[in-house]
Amino acid sequence: MTPHPISRRRFGKLLATSAAVGIGGVTWTPAHGAPAVVRSAALRPKLPSGIACGDVTSNGAVIWSRCDRPAKMIVEIAANESFRNALRHVGPVARPDNDFVAKLQLPSLPPGERLFYRVQFEDLADSGNLSEPTNGSFRALPTSKRDVLFAWSGDTVGQGWGIDRARGGMRIYETIRRLQPDFFVHSGDSIYADNPLVPEVKLADGTVWKNLITPGKIKVAETAAEFRGAQLYNLEDDNFRRLCAEVPLLAQWDDHEVVNNWYPGEILDDPRYTVKDVNTLAARARSAFFDCMPIAGQATDKIYRALPQGPLVELFFLDMRTYRAANSPNRQPVAGPETAYLGREQLDDLKRRLAASKATWKIMCSDMPLGLLVRDGAKDFEAVANGDGPALGRELEIAELLSFMKRQGVRNVIWLTADVHYAASHYYNPDKAQFQDFDPFWEFVSGPLHAGTFGPNQLDNTFGPEVRFTSLPAGFKGGSGPAGGLQFFGTVGINGQTAELTLNHYNAAGDKLWSTTLPPHRA
């Protein structure tokens, strides 16, 4: 694609606007000045984890990177790969207390443009000693209706499957990158902080999977530094780094960013952990998540959020982990503190945002599925579903939300999720449901990206889900990992002229497995 150039006048207007509103407390300047002092390659700062872009909105975008020493982050942005008429932003300082990561919020950008950015770090101990620039690109949000394409999936480096460089690493991320989506939604379990790696895994065919081992993956994560180490492990993979540089990453979390099936207030009964208090672990994991992901804000901010992506799409990122009550048999007949899942504050905020949204399509980015049974032990449930029958327990919040959307006329809603380690398409039909006060909708499941493959899970008939597609072969017994090829992601494409939404399921090799096209409901 040839980018539409931003004229010097347009950049000047952008610069003036940024300075006027005081973006990030630092104003933009044209990218010129005295040249950096030339140092040998061995002495220059390095970016061991690459660069990333995320949370692209009408207010700008987040740029993330990491240095190998205390250094000042510098970002340049332009409408051309030559960085002619680039704007320069002097960002935060990378410090040792968070492994030298740094990120900054770019200001408002020209809508719809393919923009190019590059990141450098200036050594604090050696003024003028700059790293080699590392380049990336992203597309700013449109204000007019144009085609939109994005991908989603979840579950990375789980069940002991790490990076085997001899096998090409986490190749599914390269498959996604080649499709050049406008952005990528990571639906959770972006790491497995509770799954250490061993150097070798023997495969059924007699070969050996050889994991790259780093300090962040040799034990379960308990300290903030260990959680950051688990996050940064993924960026040891060339495929993932290329994707992050070229495709904005929109992140949410689930359980394995902390520990399997966790809930607030839990006390672990796991001999691997010296820290048993899950609230302590979750706070440290949350800090690492905000440190290492290109997500706007900091650990005190909310992970649930709405990200409008132009007139055709708005994304609603849910947090089904932070506000839930304890896992239980989940059969309470009346809503109360013990049935909390999204929690009252998040649920009310979500309803307000959905009712106010002007986007044609509302995409519910959910870290767990609605109608699949996900168990926590023999008697308790981890997700919404609790078995066939009327809405009970956590299902009461979902029933309230679905009824609200029907009453308010919130149309063109689809749900995207991961978590269960296979791909599926579910049509929720009120005519087949026990609870029927809702409009029909689709839920699309994907994953794993690079982890064990399991399932299929049993469906719960409360909201009437029907299986229209599943990625698993007949008789699948589970347990295979990326060497078996059963790794999955999906894409959502929206036609800029007709507003039709096309959903595709893919495997790691890029083979299209299933597709459907949904027309928009028009009032």
Predicted pLDDT at 38: 65
Residue 37 is predicted with a pLDDT of: 62
As given in the structure block, the two tokens for residue 243 are 């994707």
Distances (CA, A) of 255 to 88, 103, 487, 515: 38, 24, 20, 29
CA distance linking residue 304 with residue 301, whole number of Å: 9
Q: 354 with 427: CB under 8 angstroms?
A: no
Two tokens, residue 370: 């609605």
Domains and CATH numbers, the chain: 8-139 (2.60.40.380), 148-518 (3.60.21.70)
Residue with the two structure tokens 């970002």: 75
Q: Token digits for 147?
A: 């085609």
Residue 90 near residue 33, CB atoms below 8 Å? no
Residues 6 or more apart whose Cβ sits within 8 Å of residue 15: 27, 28, 29, 30, 87
Residues in the chain: 523
Structural tokens at position 189: 């379990």
Tally of CB atoms within 10 A around 113: 19
Q: Yes or no: say if 415 and 444 are a contact pair by the CB < 8 Å rule.
A: yes
Angle at 365 between CA 361 and CA 368, to 5 degrees: 140
Separation in Å, CA 345 to CA 283, 351, 395, 401: 19, 10, 17, 13
> What residues contact residue 346 under an 8 Å CB cut-off, 6+ apart?
302, 304, 318, 319, 323
Distant-in-sequence, close-in-space partners of 186: CB < 8 Å, separation ≥ 6: 152, 153, 154, 156, 249, 250, 251, 252
Residue 35: its pLDDT value, please?
53
The series of mean pLDDT values per 10 residues for the chain, 523 residues long, is: 43 42 40 58 94 92 98 96 94 96 91 93 96 95 92 98 98 98 98 98 95 97 98 98 98 98 98 98 98 96 96 98 98 97 98 98 98 97 97 98 98 98 98 98 98 96 98 85 96 97 98 98 77
> Which pLDDT score, from 0 to 100, does residue 14 have?
52
Q: Which amino acid is at 361?
A: W
Which residues face 487 on adjacent strands? none
Q: How far is CA 352 from the centre of its chain?
A: 23
Report the C-alpha gap between 164 and 169 in whole angstroms: 5
The pTM (predicted TM-score) of the whole model is 0.93
Q: How far is residue 387 from each of residues 114, 153, 236, 439, 494, measured CA to CA in Å?
A: 47, 25, 41, 21, 34
Do the strands 71-78 and 87-94 form a parallel or antiparallel pair, or are they unpaired? Answer: antiparallel
Instruction: With both helix axes pointing from N to C terminus, report the angle between 224-233 and 278-292 in degrees, rounded to the nearest 10.
Output: 50
The pLDDT value recorded for residue 118 is 97
